Structure 1
Amino acid sequence: MIEPSQEGRTIRPWNTRRLQLMVQLLATIYQLLTTGSSCTKRELYYLHLELAQTPAYTYATLEDVYALLDADPWELHVYNTSKGLIAGPIVLTLTDGQRIDCNGRWGTAVPLDVGSVTEIRLAAKLVLVVEKDTVFKRLLEDGITSTFPDTLVLITAKGYPDVSTRLLLKKISDWTHVPIYGLMDADPHGIEIFCVYKFGSLAMVHQQRSLAVPTMRWIGLFPSDIELLGLLGVPLREGELKRIEQMTKRPYTEGHIQRELLLLRQLATKVEIESLYNIASDFITTVYLKGKLKECINLRQHVEEEHSVLR
């Protein structure tokens, strides 16, 4: 997990406008907390258009507010627009008593206010996070929940993960202790997304204790699968090769992740998960994931048996 510096974050209002915006944002947040209401980051931008030069300017100032108050955004009733989807045998209970059953055929939207989730009932052995919405939908179309009944919950943030999806995944991990696995493209972007889930975002270091899932494991698609399965890829661009170089220098990309990054650079080729469908239309569900998930379940059962013997 990415650790914030012990010195904390230095807040440097660059000018009077920035300081005025901070004060107005603090006033709005105070109103949200006292009235029990909430809003999105985008709504805050429109509420303060006279000072907010751009959405990015507002969001950067909000980060200063979070650091100043030493609070996470959801604790201040400020949320991103949730874009995540979740499918499988899991029920979420909110503070108002509302129950969200996520066992629908095509999945359920991750609630915007994940901070209001007070209970999670999960009847599955694991959670599988997939990078892209297209793969999420295809897996559901292929009947993955029927192929693995009462086995998995499927989650996607449709690319780079939003805070709501990450916070829900963190709660699932902390509250249910089920293993969580990631299925990403074999490219720098896919590996980066996995690292954000597992270790945290470099841009949001001060929130990582509340969002990172350090126990999450990467189960594919690996760069080592490219030659193993004879997959056809696309040449990496110069910028992607530079990103790999940067990622290999991070302290947390060691061991297996480091080896796969180095192999990806050596191959200079990237491959999407969907390329597995070129082998067979049901290859991901009936072969690739079936083997990997079976191995994960067997490993977990073995560990649990060892723990029961030690007790």
Structure 2
Amino acid sequence: MGEFVENLERIALELVANLAHGHATLRVPRNSNTGCRRVTYNNRGSRHSFCLLVYMLSRVHRLQVLGGSFTVRGLYYGDPLLIRSQSRIAEARLDVCRMLNTSPLTLGVLAASKGLMAGDVRLLMTNGDVLDSSLFCGPMTLPTDPEKVDRIETQADFVLIVEKESVFESLLSRNVFCTIERRFILITGKGYPDCCTRRIVHRLTEENHLPAYILVDADPFGIDIMLVYRHGSQAMSFSSQGLTTPSLRWIGLHPSEIPALGTGAVALGTGDNKKINDLLARNDLEPGVRQELRMLQDVQLKAEIESVIDFLTDDYIPNKINRNLFL
């Protein structure tokens, strides 16, 4: 904590020095590592952003010195006239992360978790509470602060991540834990995963030594979601420590499977093709992933997981896992 607080206080001292010369300016590093963005009080266009940054820095410093945590929602309702919207304070939180080169989880300013988990798993919290998903068949919302999970107990053989909540619920309604005759943990981040979901997946693979598989739509945004779990968020490229799962196994849907789906595919849109080009420009793509993106470009079609939902539990998932058909 000492170095973290020192960095916060260094930023504050630099700001005071700037103020002495009539310049109320903060520098926020860019994601692309191409310099900094200047946020200044003297510019009316960035004045509100400047005030929110100072507010967030002061709250984070207080948390680091005194302990505890806040939620983004709680900060907003603490001073809605200043903050104006939860999205603005969430962006200020990310900017502070960029300034300190750390993840949102480290700040102590937490966003409500949206991830869901079901299956053979128990979360033992630092306060003595036990969150036990194995006692019932319904989903369990992941805790807002994953660092308050002391350890994870499970007898599962693997982790299965699905992109969407609708697929997560559909699998549960089809008794997926009975159909697939192996113990496993089912997780969804409801689209792009938050830090909490990514942290729990990371811990399951690192601490519990479980292989993790992921099932996403055969479209560029589904592939991007898979890459967020595997390599981290591009918006938080400055800090992904403890939030990535490089060993993640992508079992589908693969774009190369689209021709076999028949009526289950639809045409790509302009936004889809732009996303494909953005992904192909990345330098961290595995050859197999790059090849599947090229396939999307060639066939100009995309497909959702729901197109194979009728044989997902009986055939598709077991076949992919048992035969190691993943990228």
TM-score (norm 2): 0.81
Aligned-partner Cα distance in 2 for 1:15–1:120: 46
Instruction: Rate the CA distance shift 1:296–1:260 in 2: closer, same or farther, 3 A.
Output: same
SS at match of 1:208: coil
| Higher mean displacement: 160-169 or 10-19 | 10-19
Residue of structure 1 equivalent to 2:319: 291
Q: Residue 11 of structure 1 contacts residue 64 of structure 1 at CA under 8 Å; is this kept in 2?
A: no
Residue of structure 2 equivalent to 1:15: 41
**Aligned with residue 166 of structure 1, among 184, 192, 198:** 198
SS at match of 1:96: coil
Shift of residue 53, structure 1, vs aligned partner = 4.9
Structure 2 unmatched ranges of 5 or more: 1-29
**Aligned with residue 45 of structure 1, among 64, 70, 76:** 76
Q: Residue 133 of structure 1 contacts residue 157 of structure 1 at CA under 8 Å; is this kept in 2?
A: yes
Aligned-partner Cα distance in 1 for 2:119–2:54: 43
Aligned-partner Cα distance in 2 for 1:190–1:100: 29
- Percentage identity across aligned positions? 35
1:97-127 alpha-carbon deviations (Å, 9 max, x no partner): 1111122202211111111111011211110
Instruction: Rate the CA distance shift 1:291–1:166 in 2: closer, same or farther, 3 A.
Output: same
* 1:61 partner amino acid: A
Residue of structure 1 equivalent to 2:177: 145
Aligned-partner Cα distance in 1 for 2:318–2:263: 19
Aligned-partner Cα distance in 1 for 2:281–2:155: 39
1:132-173 alpha-carbon deviations (Å, 9 max, x no partner): 111111111111111234431100011111121111111112
* 1:15 partner amino acid: Y
Instruction: Rate the CA distance shift 1:72–1:242 in 2: closer, same or farther, 3 A.
Output: closer
Q: Residue 128 of structure 1 contacts residue 155 of structure 1 at CA under 8 Å; is this kept in 2?
A: yes
Residue 189 (structure 1) aligned with residue 221 (structure 2): yes
Aligned-partner Cα distance in 1 for 2:94–2:35: 10
- Regions of 4+ moved over 4 Å: 4-9
Aligned-partner Cα distance in 2 for 1:149–1:118: 29
**Aligned with residue 103 of structure 2, among 40, 49, 72:** 72
Residue of structure 2 equivalent to 1:26: 57
Residue 255 (structure 1) aligned with residue 287 (structure 2): yes
Q: Residue 25 of structure 1 contacts residue 44 of structure 1 at CA under 8 Å; is this kept in 2?
A: no
SS at match of 1:13: strand
Matches within 5 A, 1:233-244: 233-244=265-276
SS at match of 1:37: coil
Structure 1 unmatched ranges of 5 or more: 300-311
Aligned-partner Cα distance in 1 for 2:32–2:305: 39
Aligned-partner Cα distance in 1 for 2:190–2:238: 24
Residue of structure 1 equivalent to 2:88: 57
Residue 264 (structure 1) aligned with residue 296 (structure 2): yes
Q: Residue 11 of structure 1 contacts residue 68 of structure 1 at CA under 8 Å; is this kept in 2?
A: no
Residue of structure 1 equivalent to 2:122: 91
Larger RCO: Structure 1 or Structure 2 (Cα < 8 Å, ≥ 6 residues apart)?
A: 1
Shift of residue 47, structure 1, vs aligned partner = 3.0
Superposition RMSD in Å:
2.4
SS at match of 1:211: coil
* 1:250 partner amino acid: R
SS at match of 1:207: coil
Q: Residue 189 of structure 2 contacts residue 197 of structure 2 at CA under 8 Å; is this kept in 1?
A: yes
Instruction: Rate the CA distance shift 1:91–1:247 in 2: closer, same or farther, 3 A.
Output: same
Q: Residue 104 of structure 2 contacts residue 195 of structure 2 at CA under 8 Å; is this kept in 1?
A: no
Matches within 5 A, 1:89-168: 89-103=120-134, 104-168=136-200
Aligned-partner Cα distance in 2 for 1:23–1:60: 13
Shift of residue 5, structure 1, vs aligned partner = 8.2
TM-score (norm 1): 0.85
Q: Residue 69 of structure 2 contacts residue 108 of structure 2 at CA under 8 Å; is this kept in 1?
A: yes
Aligned-partner Cα distance in 2 for 1:235–1:255: 24
